[in-house]
Amino acid sequence: MTEPAAEPAAEPAGATSTLPPPSANGSARPAPQAPSPGPLRTRISSMRIALIAGTVILVVVLIFIIQNAKSVSISFLGAHLHLSLAVALLLAAIAGALLMAAAGTARITQLRQTMRRDRNRRDAR
């Protein structure tokens, strides 16, 4: 046995509909909506976030240095040093970062030269 289809609920008297009026062919078109603007990011807000992040990193590094104050003996290419373990690790990290920066700079320079050469060839035609 089939049950009769439920009818849509009737609006109370005096209520206004939030739906847009139907178009000429009877279908309802949704109203266009303006895109919602994202959060505003300015140079000052970016600088503020960078300063906060830098301060947090500095505190973490300071805690690392305080907890690893034990002196260690380091030998490298004939040089013998006695440094704090934290200072030795920080120097190694800085040296690694400088090597990576040098490799990245070399690759970017290579790509720029390739782009310049291709642009000059294209302009010569």
Q: Tens digit of pLDDT for each residue in 25-79?
A: 655 666 667 666 666 778 788 888 989 998 998 888 888 888 888 888 888 888 8
Residue at 102: amino acid letter: A
Q: 3 pLDDT exceeds 70?
A: no
Cβ(86)–Cβ(69) under 8 Å?
A: yes
> For residue 58, what are its two tokens?
């500095």
pLDDT of residue 115: 93
Q: 108 pLDDT exceeds 80?
A: yes
Which is higher by pLDDT, 121 or 14?
A: 121
**106 vs 22: CA distance, rounded Å:** 63
Q: 4 pLDDT exceeds 60?
A: no
Can you give the residue ranges of every domain in the chain?
Answer: 44-124
pLDDT of residue 104: 93
pLDDT of residue 12: 55
Question: How do residues 12-29 score in pLDDT, each as one tens digit?
Answer: 555 555 555 555 565 566
pTM of the model as a whole: 0.47
- For residue 1, the 8-state DSSP code is -
Cβ(86)–Cβ(64) under 8 Å?
A: yes
Q: 5 pLDDT exceeds 60?
A: no
Cβ(47)–Cβ(53) under 8 Å?
A: no
Q: 101 pLDDT exceeds 60?
A: yes
